[in-house]
Structure 1
Amino acid sequence: MALPAELAARSALSRVCTRCSISLRRQGRTPTANGFLQAAWQQQRPLTAKSSQARHAVNFSSSPAARDVVSKRFSSGSAQAGLSSSSGGSKRVLAPDDLFHSFTNSPIPEIRRRAAFIRQHASCPHHDHQPGGTMAPAHVDFECPDCGLPVYCSKEHWADDYEAHLQICDTLRQINEDDHDLRSGRFFPEFEYAGPQMEEALINMTNWDTFLYTRNFNAINDDRSMRQVTRLLTYPVTIGSIIHELSPYNIKAGGRLTVEGLKSFSALRYTLHPPKSGGGMDVRGLRFEAPPVRIFVLGARAESSLPRDAWVQLAHLFPRARIHLILIGPESMLNRDDEFPLPPRTASNPFGAIVEDRVWPTMKISTIVDYYHTIHKTGYFYPYDPYFDCFVLFHPGLGHPASSHEWEETLPMLLETKAPIIVTGYTQADMERDIDWVNKTAAGEFDVLLEPGENRFRSLRWDLNDLDPQDISAGNWGVWAFRGKRYEATRKSEE
C-alpha cells in the first residue's frame, strides 16, 4: 500500500491546474472566434458555494481529530482525483515499458475522458482552417501515431502539416507518457521529500540536481521521476531560491538581480536568516523572537492544494525563521471542498480564513477565499513591512484579456506596500504580456527587482493546453520581481 505522502503528491499532481482549466474559468461561457467553447465551462467542476465562501477557522494544532482530517484528506486524495480505480496504491495498471498509449484508447478512463474533451473543444491548426483559409473551422479528430494526441481534423491535414507538428511531437509524446506514468499505479519514491538537515550543511541552488542533492533528497536517476517531482516542488522552491541568502540570483553580470532588488531581498533575508540568539528551553533561555515572515500567494489555485510536505520545504530552507504562508484567491479552495467543514465569517475571523496551524513547528498556512483587494481595503493585514512581507503571483495572467481586469484594482495596492512582488509565467510570451501590462498600468510607479528570465527551478514537466494541443508550457517557466517605487527625501543644501 502506498504511503499517504506519496498518495497525496500523486493526487495533487493530477489536479494541478493547467492552462486549459484556468482559461476556461476566466472565460466562463465566452465563446472563441469559432464558437467552439460556448459550453466548455459547463463541463468543468464549478466552484461550489461552499468553496467560494469559506466559513470558520480551523486550528489543526489544537485537535488531534482535526489533524486526522488532514491526514485522511491526503491519504484519500486519489479517490477525489479519480485515481482510485486507475492508480490505486496496491494495483499496478501499467508497466514501466508500457506507458505510451493513444489518449482515445488509453487504459486509463480519466485520460480517455480528456481525449474526448480535446476532440470536442480544440481546433485544427491547419492553415486551411485559419482566417482567410479555404475551409471552415473544425475540431481535432485525428491522433498522431507518434505522440498519441488528437492534433488535426484529418490524416490528410496532419500529413500536410507534418514538418510543423514535428517541432512539438516529441514533447507531446513525453506529456503522454508522463500522464500515464502518474496513473500507472507504481510507487513514487520521489515524492518522499527530504526533512530538516544540519544547519552547517549549505544548500546549492545552482539547479535542480544540486538542490536535491544538497537537501538530501533520495537519489532521482530517472528523467521522468525528476519531471514528476519538480512539478510540485517548483512552487515552494521558486520562492525559496529568490529570498534565500544563497540565492543563485545576484547583482553580478547575468545574475539578473538589480540594485533595488538587492536592497529589498536583503531586508527579507535579514529576517529569514537571524543570528543565533543562544536561547534555550528554560526560563533563562527565553529570547525575543521576530514576527513570522508573511508570504502572500495571491490568485492561489493549484498551489493551495499542494501536499503540505511540499510547502514545508520552505520551513526547512529557513530553519531559524517563522513563516506564515497566506493563500488568497476566489479559487483557493478549488478541489478541496470535501476536506473539512468550511468556516463561517465571524467577528474574530471576518474573512472565514482556514488556518492550518503548525504544519511545521515554525510554519503555518492560512487560506482565504476572497480577492486580495477586498481584504486590503479593510486593513486586515496592516501594517506591511518589507522586512517581513513578500507577495507571490504564480501565473497570474496580469496581461491576459480575460483576467487583467481582476488585477486592475489590486496592483496599486500591492505597489503601495513597497514589499517585493514575485511573478511567474507559463512561457516567455505569457511573462512578457504580464510585464507589458504592468508597464502600461503603473508606468513610473515601480522598480524592477529581478529582471525577467527563465526560472532556474521551473517545472521540468511540460503541460498541455487541452483547448489547443499545439500550446505547451511549463509551470513557473519564467520569473521576475518588482515593487512599488520608493521616493527618498533629499534636502537641498542652503547656499
Structure 2
Amino acid sequence: MFAFKSPAATQLSLHPVSLFAIDSRISSHRTLVGFVKNALGIDPPPLPTEPVFANRFYPWDESPSPAIRERAARIKAQAKCPVTGKEIRFTCPLSGIPTHYSKEAWENDTNYHKNKIYEKLRKVNIYEHDLRSGRPFPEFDFPGEQARDSTVNMTNWDLFFYTRQFYSMDTEFQLATVTKMLSYPITIGSILYKYSPYNLIPKGPVTLEGLKSLAALRYTLRNNAFATTKTRPMRIFILGARAESQLPIHIWKQLQFLFPAQAFEINFIGPECSLLEQDSNYLSSDSRIVKRVDESLTLAYYPDYFDKFHKAQDFFPYDPYNDIFFTFHPGFASPESSKTWMGDTMKALLDTKCAIFTTGFSQDDIMKDITSVQDTYGEEVDMLMNPIKNVFGSTKWELNDLNPQQVYQFNMYIAGFRGKRYHTVKA
C-alpha cells in the first residue's frame, strides 16, 4: 500500500527540487532491468512502487487520497445523471468514478457502454492516483541547455524526448505527468522551431499567409543565432493565462533551451494570470510582476484584459518579426466567455497584425472557436494554420467534474490566424 500525499503535497510534484532525487533502489532496479533485457530479452516484474494499472485503481469514493474522495463527493453533489437527470449516486465499477444515478441507469446507458467511455474515465482515475501515490518522479529531472548546433526532432513526443535527452519514460503514467506540463512551452516551440512538424498546404495545415508570418519569426531566431551583438528579446504573449502562468520557471526554460541563442520575454495576460501563494488570491488589476529568470528569459504577469494594455500602448510597437500571441483553450465561442473575447480584446489582437495561435480541448471545440472569429470579423482575418491535432498536446486525460462523462486533454488541437495585413483595393 502506498502512502498517499495530501493535495498540498501533491503540488510539490511540479517543482524541481524535492522530486528530482531518484531513489537508489529504483536506479539499481533499472540497471538490472537493462541487463536482463539485454541478456535474456525479457522484462523482470516491476517493483511494488512502480505504477501499473493494478496498483493505481481505486473507486474514487473509497480512495486512499482525501482529495480524490472530496472530488467524488463534489461530483455527486453537482453533476447530473445523463440517463435520469437526477443527482449522481452510483460509482461505475469499470472506471471507479461516480457517473450515474443508479446501477439500473448505468446499465441502460447504451452510449456509455457502446463508446466505452469508461475506458478513458479509468485512465483519469489511475493518472490521478499515480500523482498522489508518493512514488519517485525521476521523469521530472529535465535536461538543461543543449549545444547551439544540436537539432531536436519535433515529429512527436517520443522523438522530442529522445533528442533532448530526457529521462526514458517507459510508461504512460510518466508520459501523462510530463506532457501535461510541457505541452504549453513545447507547443509554442513547435510553431517557432525551424524543423516544425507543421508543413505548408497541401501536405500540412500552414497557409501561404501563415508561412509568411512564421518565416519572419524564424528569420529573427536564425539571425540571432549568429549575431555578435544582443538584440531585444522575442516577446511571447499568452492571453487568458491561467494554469500556464502557474507552471514552475524551469518548465518555461525548456522553451528557451530549444533556442539557445535567443532571449525570450513571456507575457502572461489576464485576470487570473498570477496567484499569490500566501493567500491564494489573484493579483489586483493595477499590479504587475516581472521576474527576470536570467539573461535569456523574463516572465511578466499582467492581471487584466489585453485590450486595456493595448489602448494604453504598453506593448507598442508590435513587430511581426519579434512578437507572437497564444491563447490556450480561450473559448471564443463559449457562451460563458465569448463576450469577453470577441469584443475589444479580439479587436486589439487583430490590430497587432502579429501571428496568433490558439488551442482547443477537441476538434469540435477549436472549430467552433475559429468559426466564431471568422464569422464575427470576416475579411479582417487571415488564416495562418488550419485546425489540426496538436503534435504536442497533453496525453493526460482530464475530467469535467460537472459532467463526469466528459473527458478531454489539454491543447489537443491547434490553429492560427492574424489580423489581415493587406486589404483588397478596388481599382
| 1:303-362 deviations in Å (ceiling 9; x for gaps) | 01101111111110111111000001101123x4328999899xxxxx4221110x2430
CA distance in 2, matches of 1:99, 1:124: 26
**Residues 116 and 481 of structure 1: is their aligned pair in 2 closer, same or farther, counting only changes over 3 Å?**
same
How does 1:320-399 map onto structure 2 within 5 Å? Answer: 320-334=261-275, 336-338=276-278, 351-357=286-292, 359-399=293-333
Does residue 142 in structure 1 map to residue 90 in structure 2? yes
Corresponding residue of 1:109: 66
**1:168-179 superposed matches below 5 A:** 168-179=117-128
| 2:177 maps to which of 225, 228, 235 | 228
Q: 1:141 to 1:94 in 2, by over 3 A?
A: farther
Equivalence for 1:192: 141
Among residues 466, 475, 481, which one is paired with 2:410 in the alignment? 475
Q: Indicate whether 1:11 and 2:11 are aligned.
A: yes
Distance across 2 between alignment mates of 1:150 and 1:344: 38
**CA RMSD across the alignment:** 2.7
TM-score, scaled to structure 1: 0.74
Deviation at 1:380, TM superposition (A): 0.6
**Structure 1 residue 167: Cα displacement:** 1.9
Alignment of 1:71-470 (within 5 A): 96=51, 97-126=54-83, 129=84, 137-162=85-110, 164-165=112-113, 167-274=116-223, 276-277=225-226, 279=228, 287=229, 289-334=230-275, 336-338=276-278, 351-357=286-292, 359-407=293-341, 408-470=343-405
Amino acid across the alignment from 2:98: P
After superposition, the Cα gap between the structure-2 partners of 1:473 and 1:331, relative to the gap in structure 1 and judged at 3 Å, is same
**Alpha-carbon contact 1:426-1:473 (below 8 Å) kept:** yes
CA contact (8 A) 1:342 1:354 kept: no
Identity %: 42
| Contact 2:147–2:260 (8 Å) recurs in 1 | no
Is contact 1:261-1:449 (8 Å) kept? yes
Q: Structure 1 residues 94 and 147, CA, compared in 2 at 3 Å: closer, same or farther?
A: farther
- The change in CA–CA distance for 1:161 and 1:277 in structure 2 (over 3 A counts) is closer
CA distance in 1, matches of 2:178, 2:140: 6
Structure 1 unaligned blocks of 5 or more: 1-6, 15-72, 78-92, 130-136, 280-286, 346-350
**Taking structure 1 as reference, are residues 143 and 264 closer, same or farther at Cα in structure 2, changes over 3 Å only?**
same
Q: Which amino acid counterpart does residue 184 of structure 2 have in structure 1?
A: Y
How far does residue 253 in structure 1 lie from its aligned partner after superposition? 2.9
Structure 1 CA distance for aligned equivalents of residues 385 and 149 of structure 2? 28
- Matched residues in 2 for 1:248 and 1:13: separation? 30
- The answer to which of 157-166 and 397-406 deviates more is 157-166
State the alpha-carbon separation in 2 of the partners of residues 248 and 312 from structure 1: 21
User: Would the aligned equivalents of 1:12 and 1:305 in 2 still touch at CA under 8 Å?
Assistant: no
Unaligned 5+ residue runs, structure 2? 1-6, 20-47
Answer whether contact 2:201 2:207 (CA < 8 A) is retained.
no
1:267/1:191 CA distance change after superposition, 3 Å: same
Cα gap change, 1:372 to 1:9, in 2 (>3 Å): farther
Q: May I ask how many residue pairs the two structures share in their alignment? A: 390
Q: Secondary structure at the match of 1:457?
A: coil
- 1:48 matched residue in structure 2: none
Deviation at 1:430, TM superposition (A): 1.1
2:62 is paired with a residue whose SS is coil
Contact residue 148 and residue 261 of structure 2 kept, 8 A: no
Residue identity in the other structure for 1:409: D
8 A contact 2:272–2:282 mirrored in 1: no
Higher relative contact order (CA 8 A, sep 6+): 1
Deviates more, 1:407-416 or 1:163-172: 163-172
Question: Using the alignment, how far apart are the partners of 1:481 and 1:141 within structure 2?
Answer: 43
Aligned to 1:140, the other structure's residue is in SS state coil
- Partner letter of residue 221 of structure 1? D
Q: Deviations over 1:360-401 (max 9, x none)?
A: 430110011111111111001101010111110000011100
Q: Deviations over 1:135-177 (max 9, x none)?
A: xx31111001111001100000101115523521111111100
| Kept in 2: contact 1:9–1:306 (CA 8 A) | no
* Alignment map for 1:17-32 (pairs within 5 Å): none
Query: What secondary structure, in the 3-state scheme, does the structure 1 residue paired with 2:127 have?
Result: helix
SS at 1:423's partner residue? Answer: strand
What TM-score do you get using the length of structure 2 for normalisation? 0.85
The question of whether the paired residues in 1 share the 8 Å contact of 2:361 and 2:412 is answered with yes
Summarize the Cα distance change of 1:340–1:104 in structure 2 as closer, same or farther, 3 Å threshold.
closer
CA distance in 2, matches of 1:343, 1:146: 42
**Aligned pair in 2 of structure 1 residues 445, 487: CA closer, same or farther (>3 Å)?**
same
**Structure 1 CA distance, aligned partners of 2:186 and 2:8?**
18
